[in-house]
Every structure is written in structure tokens, then in C-alpha cells.
Chains A and B, each alone.
Chain A
Amino acid sequence: ETGVTQSPTHLIKTRGQQVTLRCSSQSGHNTVSWYQQALGQGPQFIFQYYREEENGRGNFPPRFSGLQFPNYSSELNVNALELDDSALYLCASSLVVLGQGAHEQYFGPGTRLTVT
């Protein structure tokens, strides 16, 4: 069974640029959530995708957007990068069956984004 993978591992961008981060969910999972972890802080929920539709969003501006593909992999796009966007971006996948269970989330290793 393949776990959650993310690419790239590290990324350096300049303020104002755009970036795309990628996540491959664990085999059999249908839901992907994205989290931002700033240095020295806990992860913060950005949004979640369930069966290719956004299904829940945290307190992040619209320049943070995403996609989920038919194979349940996902992308996180950030436009007009700001210095404060520098963080570890974590992807987590889960198998959601509506009305059942707590939907344990399995995390990938993250992408470290540095904005200069």
C-alpha cells in the first residue's frame, strides 16, 4: 500500500509569483485535505476536497485554490505569493464514507515553501 506522497520536497519562490504543490493520496482514499504549518506552529486547515469538489475551507484567502483529480490526487495553487506564505504545506488523505466514523487522516511528508 502506497502512502501519501507530495512534490516537490522544497521550493523557493519570489514574492508575487505563483506556485503549484502536488499530492498523491493513499490508495483507496477519496478525500484530500491541505494544511499550512508555519514555523513553530501547528498545522492550519486550508481546505478539503471530496470526490473532486471543495468540501470545507479554513480562513485562507481566495488566492489559495485547489483541485482534485479523478484519481483523487490533488493540487494546491497559491497566487500572488507573500512572504508570510513561507511554510510547510501538508497534504492528508482519508477514506470518507458519509455518516460513518472519524475519517482518520494520513499525512504526507510535506512541501517546504520559502518565499523571498
Chain B
Amino acid sequence: AQSVTQLDSQVPVFEEAPVELRCNYSSSVSVYLFWYVQYPNQGLQLLLKYLSGSTLVKGINGFEAEFNKSQTSFHLRKPSVHISDTAEYFCAVSRVSSGSARQLTFGSGTQLTVLP
């Protein structure tokens, strides 16, 4: 089984400041890693994903994340945030397998609030 821990439930940050949202995972098998964003009263939108290859992954809206296998982490970063980045962010994993049941296991989420 897999599990995901998002270490911070709330992260307030001032506009144009950098931000890091932390994610650690636990799994006995290889996993794919994802970050999703959820705006109020909306579904989930994929920000970025790590499947294989380069450990630094770039996504939409200027976000990037780095996969660290030894520390089982996949932290999300943005060098300069905007008010519009205020949202809930979810880290998720799925097993690397040839089967079709690629269920996502999510963390509990981090509420990013960008202050003016």
C-alpha cells in the first residue's frame, strides 16, 4: 500500500515571495508522483507529474517539483507566487504497474494562501 504525507496543512505567503509545499510518500513499490490543484468549488487540475527520467519536473503556472528517491519526497516549488495561486494543493501517488487500476492515493492537502 502507498501513503502520502503533506507536512503543512496551511501555508500563508506574501505575493511575489517563493513557496515550497512539502510532500513525502511511502511505498513498497515504484510509484508515479503527481501534484494537483483544487480551486474553491472546483475539481482537481493536474499541475505536474513525475513518471521517470529527470528528477526536476516543470508544470503549469510556473510550478516545479523535484523527486528525491532517497528521501521519498516530491516537494512543490514556485519562485514567485501570485494572488491567483491561492488554492488547495494535493500530492498524489499511483503504483507503477502494467494493470489498468491506477488508483491515485492522495495526501490530505495544503491550503496555500497568498497575501497581498
Contact = CB atoms under 8 A, between A and B. Distances in A.
Contacts of B101: 48, 50, 55-56
Interface extent on B, as a size class? 20 to 34
Contacts of A43: 44, 90, 104, 106
B32 A102 contact: yes
B100 interface: yes
B53 interface: no
Interface extent on A, as a size class? 20 to 34
A94 B34 CA distance: 15
A114 interface: no
Contact of B106 (A44, A99, A109): A44
- The 8 A-B pairs with the shortest beta carbon distances in the complex, nearest first, are A56-B101, A42-B106, A107-B43, A45-B103, A107-B44, A109-B43, A96-B100, A102-B32
Interface of A: 4, 31, 33, 35, 40-45, 48, 50, 55-56, 58, 90, 92, 94, 96, 98-99, 101-110
Interface of B: 4, 32, 36, 41-46, 49, 51, 90, 92, 94, 96, 98-109
